[in-house]
Amino acid sequence: MLITNANIITWESNNRVLENYAIYIEKDRIKEIGTTKSLTAKYPKVKAMDARGQYVMPGGICAHTHFYSAFARGMAIPGTAPKDFPEILQKLWWPLDRSLDAEAVRYSALACLVDAIKHGTTTLIDHHASPNAIDGSLDQIADAVDKSGLRGVLCYEVTDRDGQDKANAGINENVRFLKRLAENPNPRLAGTFGLHASLTLSGITLQACRAAAPEGTGFHIHTAEHESDEYDSLNKSQMRVIDRLQKHGILGPNTIAAHGVNFDAREMEILKETGTWLTHQPRSNMNNGVGVAQIESMMRLGIKVGLGNDGFTNSMWDEWKTAYLLHKIEHRDPRRMGGYDVQQMAIYNNAALANQFFPAAPIGQITPGAAADIIFVDYHPFTPLTAGNLPWHIIFGFQQSMVTTTIVAGKILMKDRELLTLDEKEIAARAREIAPRIWRRYEEEVSKVFGTEVSTSKNKAPEVIREVAEPEDTPKPPKAIQEKTHPKGSKQDMIDAIKRLKEKNAGSS
Ligand SMILES: [Zn+2]
């Protein structure tokens, strides 16, 4: 394939904007870049795709997302609104993930993948949970990703919040899926080992995960998203979250720690020393009211910080804009979080992270030999656009609706806004058929924990409709869950008590 009449943004380390250029693609790689005139002369028989002067650049990368969150769109939370992040987990995300069955897992992923193709996000690192449909859930998502043509890095969030059996099932699902990928590699699929958050993981389960993870596999875990994660870790182990994870061998250059809103200086230092990735999700942090991570300090320290969306829309430029604005208002200083810092996270760091999972060819740049993951953007700047001022054109001018064409590994997934691999109407129609069943189960799950007084809305005429978009993290499992899974005096309850005592005595978890 030959893309002609393109204004190429290469996103090389020394970024270039090349006007009226062409890209010659062979199979899944970019083979050659040159002027439109020179490459059309060189490849006269190759089918040309006219970019008509659009900006042509590498597809976007999302460093942390949750495909399972799609059915939260427009869903009412029964009873009083959650007052803080622990309540958001207990009233929204945990009952919702318990409501998902295999078909819902699949359609939740498909809905997000349609959104990703339309918004030009071509590589997504997902963090999945469906406690009542664990076995094979990563296959459901992998099949959806494969069908979409996008790239995905998948894992299952292991947690103790639904009991020991489900924690084990989560471990097995990660191990099974990683083995499947090792035996049957797919160039657009990769895996990591998922962990929910320190707060819902015992020391024993963390050790079991460490032991089960294949050599060289990293972890993907929420960290210190809310202060409750730190308090829980200090209670359990007399250590802060990152110290505790380090103790259990969870950190390292292949591990992704999401959020880090409540890190102290030593935790940041440990991330730097271990080469662990940190991902920033400003829209989610704002929506949950959890605070603002010290992203600039972490970048100055040399921590590898990537940009994710935490289940918000896959329009990564919206995440750019939010990052750019949030740190200014937080510090009441318009000099904070400059455009180059956002670019560093979203472009260079995310590309380096994606390349760890897909080492076959460089991802995230338009250079000969790189993966042919390319988007067309119909943007007409009315001021000069250069490599130097590009971040500000993106932040103030680019809209994700300007993405007209999405190509991954040399395959066209959307051309002139027409989706070629997924049928959006069919997916949305089936998802709308499934949604009432999921919402009904969700209300049942909420009422199991909070009683029937909060489950009366039935999602028919909700009193409050919240626009919700992000899942996951940290607080203490509510009492009702603990008692349900580990009745007082039960064997598990005693094991837990002994474990707590041991942890206390050992000064560790
Ligand atoms: Zn998350």
For the stretch 81-128, pLDDT in tens is 999 999 999 999 999 999 999 999 999 999 999 999 999 999 999 999
Whether 344 is in a domain gets the answer yes
Q: Tell how far the Cα of 66 is from the centroid of ligand 1, in angstroms.
A: 6
Position 294 in a domain:
yes
CA of 225 to the centre of ligand 1 (A): 9
DSSP class per residue in 36-55: HHHHHHH-TTSPEEE-TT-E
- Residue 288 confidence (pLDDT) above 60: yes
Compute CA distances 48 → 26, 40, 53, 140, 453, whole Å: 13, 8, 14, 36, 63
CB atoms near residue 4 (< 10 Å): 22
Nearby residues for ligand 1 (ion, Cβ within 5 Å): 310, 472
Name the pLDDT band for 460 (thresholds 50, 70, 90): low
Mean pLDDT lowest among 3-7, 178-182, 357-361, 447-451: 447-451
pLDDT > 70: what percent of the chain?
A: 89
Q: How far apart are CA 339 and CA 341, in angstroms?
A: 5
Q: Is 107 within a domain?
A: yes
Find, among 14, 19, 44, the residue nearest to 385 by Cα: 19
Model pTM score = 0.89
Cα 221 to averaged position of ligand 1 atoms, centre (Å): 8
Give domain status of residue 408, yes or no: no
* Token pair of 399 as six digits: 């809209």
> How many angstroms does the Cα of residue 389 sit away from the middle of ligand 1?
31
CATH code at position 155: 3.20.20.140
CA distance 371 to 352: 13
Dihedral sign, CA of 290, 341, 306, 105? positive
Is 375 inside a domain boundary? no
| Domain contains 164 | yes
Measure 258 CA to ligand 1 centroid, in angstroms: 7
Per-residue model confidence as pLDDT tens digits over 239-252: 999 999 999 999 99
219-223 sheet: strands from edge to edge: 193-197, 219-223, 256-259, 277-280, 304-307
- Ligand 1 mean position, distance from CA 199 (Å): 14
- The two three-digit tokens of residue 154, written as one number: 């998948």
Q: Which domain holds residue 325?
A: 60-360
**What pLDDT is stored for residue 484 in this prediction?**
37
Does residue 213 have a pLDDT over 90? yes
Residue 363 has pLDDT above 80, yes or no: yes
- 366 Cβ partners below 8 Å, 6+ apart? 8, 9, 10, 11, 12, 23, 30, 33, 56, 57, 58, 374
Please give the distance, rounded to the nearest whole angstrom, from the Cα atom of residue 3 to the centre of ligand 1: 36
Residue 361, classed as helix, strand or coil, is coil
Ligand 1 center from residue 473 Cα (angstroms):
7
Count of domains forming the chain: 1
In a domain, 353, yes or no: yes
Asked, for residue 34, whether it belongs to a domain, the answer is no
| Spatial distance between the Cα atoms of 316 and 453, rounded to a whole number of angstroms | 39
CA of 281 to the centre of ligand 1 (A): 8
Q: Residue 168: what pLDDT?
A: 98
